[in-house]
Amino acid sequence: MTSGPEEIARAVRQLRGGGLVAFPTETVYGLGAIARDVRAVERVFAIKGRPSTNPLIVHVSGEEMARTLTLSWNEHASKLARAFWPGPLTMVLARASGVPAIVSGGGATVAIRCPAHPLTLALIEMVGEGVVGPSANRSGHVSPTSAAHVEDEFREEVASGELMVLDGGACRAGIESTVVSLVDGAPMVLRPGVIGASEIAAVLGERVDERGGDESA
């Protein structure tokens, strides 16, 4: 059954208490922790078995929250947010000091996106700050597109109460968000996804190149 307001309120308490919450998005289910909570973010890496050098995407409820996570919000970012958020576009920008380095695999940038799922938008809005959300599967396993799939994957963590799973129904299977870098000169697609480089170029009115290769886990 799809989660309602009571589960969302419980999920907010779970995150604020340092716990993890799996949440639905329009792409796949994410494994959520408050981005500012270093210990909780460490647990996300640990239970996924994800290398600490593979950066996490921070999920926000909109542009206002996104601005708090970066030193370099700019006109490009505003245009793309207006055109594609909520939706499967992740923007890489300079990381604000309030975002722990562990979130970005130690790097100076941060990846930010606003997911298009009402349950998750409500959750992030109520939490009031950015929430990391790599796919809710152990590294090397298939990304989950249902709450049951997440529960199967993380049975122990759910049983112990460390992880709560919000049920938002089935996701549109498989396809991940497009990752575009807006740092260091011309915009560049770092990971292809639902939104094409040409669509991004059309919104920005300039050329957008695409770099191949993806090391996501």
- Contacting positions for ligand AMP (CB under 6 A): 54-57, 92, 104, 107, 109-111, 134-135, 176, 179, 190-191, 214-217
Give yes or no for residue 120 binding Mg ion (CB under 5 A).
no
Nearer to ligand AMP, 56 or 114 (CB): 56
32 binds, among Mg ion, ligand AMP, none (CB under 5 to 8 A by kind): none
> Given the complex with ligand AMP, which of 140 and 205 has the nearer CB atom?
140
For 54-99, give the secondary structure using H, E and C: CCCEEECCCHHHHHCCECCCCHHHHHHHHHHCCCCEEEEEEECCCC
Rank residues 104 and 146 by Cβ distance to ligand AMP and give the closer one.
104
Q: Whose Cβ is closer to ligand AMP: residue 5's or residue 107's?
A: 107
Is 216 an interacting residue with respect to Mg ion (CB under 5 A)?
A: yes
- Which range, of 103-111, 127-135, 186-194, 197-205, touches Mg ion by CB under 5 A? 127-135
**In whole angstroms, what is the distance from residue 193 CA to residue 175 CA?**
6
Q: Which is nearer to ligand AMP, 10 or 196 (CB)?
A: 196
Reported as half-sphere exposure (CB side, CA atoms, 13 A), residue 53 has a value of 1
Among ligand AMP, Mg ion, none, partner that 171 touches (CB below 5 to 8 angstroms by kind): none
- List of residues 6+ apart from 111 with CB closer than 8 A: 55, 56, 57, 58, 90, 91, 92, 104, 179
Position among 109, 135, 146, 178 found at the interface with Mg ion (CB under 5 A):
135
Q: Which stretch binds Mg ion (CB under 5 A): 46-54, 123-131, 133-141, 188-196?
A: 133-141
On whether the CB atoms of residues 12 and 125 are closer than 8 A, the answer is no
Q: Which residue bears the tokens 């915009």?
A: 187
Token couple for 13: 């308490």
Under 8 Å CB-to-CB from 114, ≥6 apart: which residues? Answer: 59, 60, 61, 62, 63, 66, 81, 85, 86, 87, 121
> Least Å distance between CB 73 and ligand AMP?
15
* 55 interface partner picked from Mg ion, ligand AMP, none, CB below 5 to 8 A per type: ligand AMP
